[in-house]
Structure 1
Amino acid sequence: MMEPFALFDDWYSQARETEINDSNAMALATADARGHPSVRMVLLKGHGPDGFIFYTNFEGRKAEELTVNPHAALLFHWKSMRRQIRIEGAVGPVNDATADAYFATRSRDSQLGAWASDQSRPLPSREIFMARFEEANARFEGRPVPRPPHWSGFRLVPDRIEFWQDREHRLHERRLFTRDDTGWSEGLLYP
């Protein structure tokens, strides 16, 4: 049996070479306390056997939903490769050191934007947001921009990973990996 993270690494490496834009883009599905779903695109910023990492404003909708319902699903769809990967599992915050290290790699404007944005909240005008951006720029002029206390990352620890490969005549190949207390098992699903 091939381990699911090795297969993910193989497919992801190929996607990084062939996908024109954002090979690390993934749909993130969450649900609120009432079970109402919501989905949006986010960017994968780290991955390995310990999970899949993305970052966000912890005062926004996705973080609120993940706090009350700490389970989510990810979907990578690489149309040009005719492949997709579905990942499901529990979600928790990354530690401060991990979030700080990633935040330091962002462009200065992205760092300032994290301070200026009240993510997912109503915005009366674009001018207000840009004024807040300029205020943050002036506040941190001449020095590094620290990570805001309301900005960090989540790690999804998978218990289910499905690899889907398009085949002619809709005779697709679906490989399913599931994890339990003893490790990973692999099987196939009908298309």
Structure 2
Amino acid sequence: MTDPISLFDAWFAEAQASEPNDPNAMALATVDGRGQPSVRMVLLKGHGPDGFVFYTNGESRKAADLAASPRAALLFHWKSLRRQVRIEGPVSQVSDAESDAYFASRGRDSQLGAWASDQSRPLDARERFEARFAETQARFDGADVPRPPHWGGWRVNPEQIELWQDRAHRLHERRLFVRSNAGWREGLLFP
């Protein structure tokens, strides 16, 4: 039996070595309380057997979707490797300590941006955001930037992982792993 997390680790390491931009970029699909789907790109900031972690504004559309329906799907597409990985499962928030630690590792402008942005809300003019950013810079001038209370991380706990490898003539290889109480079950899918 193969562990899909170990396979992901190997593929991710290859992507980090070969992808020209953001090998940790992944599509995050959510649905809101009405069942309306939404998908956007986010960055993977941690992973392991317990799940795949990303961070965002807790007042964003994605966070509202996850509050209404705490399940998500992720998709990594590494074009240079001709591979993709699909992950599905329930979502939970990471601890405040994990969020604090990751926030502290971000660049200062990214930290300031987390305070200045009303993510996903309408913006009447770019100048308004730039003015808020400048105000935030002045507010924290000479001081550490703490994590905003509305900003944090979410973890997708994989119940299903599919590793897809391109093959000639569209005869692709699709390995599907499904988690149960007994561990991971592996199977194949037709291309």
1:103-143 alpha-carbon deviations (Å, 9 max, x no partner): 00100000000000000000011111011111111111111
* Count of residue pairs the alignment pairs up: 191
Report the counterpart of residue 34 of structure 2 in structure 1.
34
1:39-91 alpha-carbon deviations (Å, 9 max, x no partner): 00000000000100000000010000000100000000001100000000000
Report the counterpart of residue 13 of structure 1 in structure 2.
13
Residue aligned with 1:158, SS: coil
Report the counterpart of residue 59 of structure 1 in structure 2.
59
What is the TM-score when the length of structure 1 is the normalising length?
0.99
TM superposition shift of 1:25 = 0.2
Report the counterpart of residue 184 of structure 1 in structure 2.
184
Given residue 118 of structure 1, which amino acid in structure 2 is its aligned partner? D
Report the counterpart of residue 83 of structure 1 in structure 2.
83
Unaligned regions of 5+ residues in structure 2, if any?
none
CA distance in 2 between partners of 1:181 and 1:71 (Å): 19
Report the counterpart of residue 73 of structure 1 in structure 2.
73
CA distance in 2 between partners of 1:106 and 1:188 (Å): 39
Report the counterpart of residue 160 of structure 1 in structure 2.
160
CA distance in 2 between partners of 1:136 and 1:189 (Å): 51
CA distance in 1 between partners of 2:180 and 2:152 (Å): 28
Q: Percent identity between the aligned chains?
A: 69
CA distance in 1 between partners of 2:115 and 2:179 (Å): 38
Given residue 114 of structure 2, which amino acid in structure 1 is its aligned partner? A
Question: Structure 1 runs of 4+ off > 3 angstroms?
Answer: none
Report the counterpart of residue 109 of structure 1 in structure 2.
109
CA distance in 2 between partners of 1:110 and 1:79 (Å): 28
TM superposition shift of 1:181 = 1.4
TM superposition shift of 1:183 = 1.0
Residue aligned with 1:97, SS: helix
Given residue 11 of structure 2, which amino acid in structure 1 is its aligned partner? W
Unaligned regions of 5+ residues in structure 1, if any?
none
Residue aligned with 2:2, SS: coil
CA distance in 1 between partners of 2:118 and 2:33 (Å): 22
